[in-house]
């Protein structure tokens, strides 16, 4: 499959997601990071008729995308208290059947999680390579953002949790050395065996708590997040996206959704040009 197919798949998924979820009269719209979000911004630009919509970026690249499209950015910490974003769009590195996602392949995950949690609707857009039954099927590692001082300690802890060879992400561009995130932190990429869904655990496919070598998505995410030195884990999981959306829509329910970062919908651009939509109700 050529890169042209992949790019066409991303664009098709983005067009569909924006047609279904971008309301030009929205007040606040979250914009994720990566290569697929470029097509989302392109689609929003085509439909944007209201210059007062404010776009909340999730990092440097994302902010530049918003500005270059002639849209107006607002930083996450300038959003008024208790105000929710109408919708947030983002890419994903892999998505399972329960809509859990791996993110952070482009070193953005912390700000993406802040924005996803703050949105009434979180919508993901991806190409067919990301559409899997379980996380860590095709995508090899969990990206983890850590404080530089804690790198070795976190790597050692990840080995104890069962990661075979956690590695500091480095860059050879311009200057070799550790890649730095927008927070000036490091990224550790930690390989684990494919992660069980909650349905897998219910069906007895493994305990999912690490004791038998299997990890369920939410359990491994919590275990890694609990390590001192970890700022964020590139697993977006927790509450079902529909339930989280209902809670987020209720004034004052913000704290109740902590830990619920799943999208309500994932649009996959397919190799044949079609778009598949995965939600809590299944796939069409
Ligand atoms: O760190 C990057 C973000 O989490 C991206 O949204 C994710 O890696 C997907 O990126 P892409 O759209 O380039 O596949």
**What span, in angstroms and rounded, lies between the C-alpha atoms of 185 and 177?**
13
Distance (Å) of CA 184 to CA 61, 116, 169, 180:
15, 21, 13, 5
Q: Which atom of ligand 1 is nearest to the CA of 112?
A: 4
**Same domain membership, residue 32 and residue 54:** yes
Ligand 1 atom at minimum distance from 37 CA: 12
Q: Assess whether 37 and 83 both reside in one domain.
A: yes
Spatial separation of the C-alpha atoms in residues 202 and 170, rounded to whole Å: 38
Angle between helical axes of 3-21 and 37-47 (0-180°, round to 10): 50
Do 167 and 43 have their domain in common?
no
pLDDT per residue, tens digit, the chain (284 aa), is: 568 899 999 999 999 999 999 999 999 999 999 999 999 999 999 998 889 999 999 999 999 999 999 999 999 999 988 888 999 999 999 999 999 999 999 999 999 999 998 998 999 999 999 999 999 999 999 999 999 999 999 999 999 999 999 999 998 777 789 999 999 999 999 999 999 999 999 999 999 999 999 999 999 999 999 999 999 999 999 876 667 667 766 655 554 455 578 999 999 999 999 999 999 999 99
- Helix residue ranges per DSSP H, 73-123: 110-117
Tokens of 101: 């996602």
* Residue 33 CA to ligand 1 centre (angstroms): 6
State the total domains in the chain. 2
CA 86-89-95 angle, to 5 degrees, is 130
| Enclosing domain of residue 162 | 141-234
166 with 253, same domain? no
pTM score, whole prediction: 0.94
Q: Hey, how many other C-beta atoms are within 10 angstroms of the C-beta on 152?
A: 10
Lining ligand 1 with CB less than 6 A are 32-36, 90-93, 103-109, 112
Please check whether residues 183 and 47 belong to one and the same domain: no
pLDDT at 245: 67
Pocket test for ligand 1, best of 30, 35, 187 (most atoms within 8 A of CB): 35
- Ligand 1, atom 6, lies closest to the CA of 91
* Secondary element (H or E) of residue 19: helix 3-21
3-state class of 26 per DSSP? coil
If asked whether residues 81 and 198 sit together in one domain, one would say no
pLDDT of residue 188: 98
Residue whose CA lies nearest to ligand 1 atom number 7: 92
Which residue owns the Cα nearest ligand 1 atom 10?
A: 34
Q: What is the pLDDT of residue 248?
A: 67
Which residues are designated catalytic?
112
In the three-class reduction of DSSP (H, G, I as helix; E, B as strand; rest coil), residue 200 is classed as: helix
For residue 149, the domain's CATH number is: 3.30.70.260
CA 88 to ligand 1 centroid distance, Å:
14
What pLDDT, on a 0 to 100 scale, did the predictor assign at position 249? 66
Report how far ligand 1's centroid is from the alpha carbon of 187 (Å).
14
Same domain, 153 and 266: no
Residue 67 alpha carbon to ligand 1 centre in Å: 19
| Ligand 1 atom at minimal distance to the Cα of residue 130 | 14
Residues 109 and 32 reside in one and the same domain: yes
pLDDT of residue 250: 64
Domain containing residue 53: CATH number: 3.40.50.1360
| Closest listed residue to residue 186, CA positions, set 229, 141, 226, 235 | 229
Calculate how far, in angstroms, residue 119's C-alpha sits from the geometric centre of ligand 1: 18
225 and 261 both lie in a single domain = no
Same domain (yes/no): 122, 167: no
- Based on the domain organization, do 40 and 10 belong to the same domain? yes
Query: Quick one: 108 and 178 in the same domain?
Result: no
């Amino acid at each position: 499959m050529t890169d042209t197919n992949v790019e066409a798949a991303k664009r098709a998924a983005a067009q569909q997601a924006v047609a279904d979820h971008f309301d030009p009269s929205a007040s606040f719209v979250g914009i994720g990071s990566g290569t697929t979000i470029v097509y989302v911004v392109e689609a929003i630009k085509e439909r944007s008729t209201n210059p007062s919509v404010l776009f909340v970026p999730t990092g440097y690249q994302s902010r530049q995308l918003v500005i270059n499209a002639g849209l107006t950015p607002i930083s996450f910490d300038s959003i008024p208290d208790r105000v929710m974003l109408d919708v947030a769009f983002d890419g994903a590195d892999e998505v399972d059947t329960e809509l859990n996602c791996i993110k952070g392949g482009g070193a953005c995950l912390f700000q993406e999680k802040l924005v996803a949690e703050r949105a009434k609707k979180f919508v993901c857009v991806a190409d067919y390579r990301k559409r899997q039954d379980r996380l860590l099927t095709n995508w090899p590692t969990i990206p983890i953002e850590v404080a530089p001082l804690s790198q070795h300690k976190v790597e050692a802890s990840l080995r104890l949790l069962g990661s075979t060879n956690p590695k500091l992400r480095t860059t050879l561009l311009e200057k070799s050395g550790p890649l730095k995130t927008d927070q000036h932190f490091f990224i550790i990429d930690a390989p684990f065996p494919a992660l069980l869904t909650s349905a897998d655990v219910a069906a007895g496919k493994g305990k999912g708590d690490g004791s038998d070598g299997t990890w369920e998505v939410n359990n491994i995410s919590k275990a890694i997040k609990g390590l001192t030195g970890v700022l964020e884990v590139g697993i977006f999981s927790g509450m079902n996206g529909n339930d989280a959306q209902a809670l987020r829509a209720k004034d004052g329910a913000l704290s109740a959704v902590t830990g619920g970062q799943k999208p309500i919908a994932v649009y996959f651009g397919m190799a044949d040009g079609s778009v598949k939509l995965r939600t809590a109700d299944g796939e069409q």
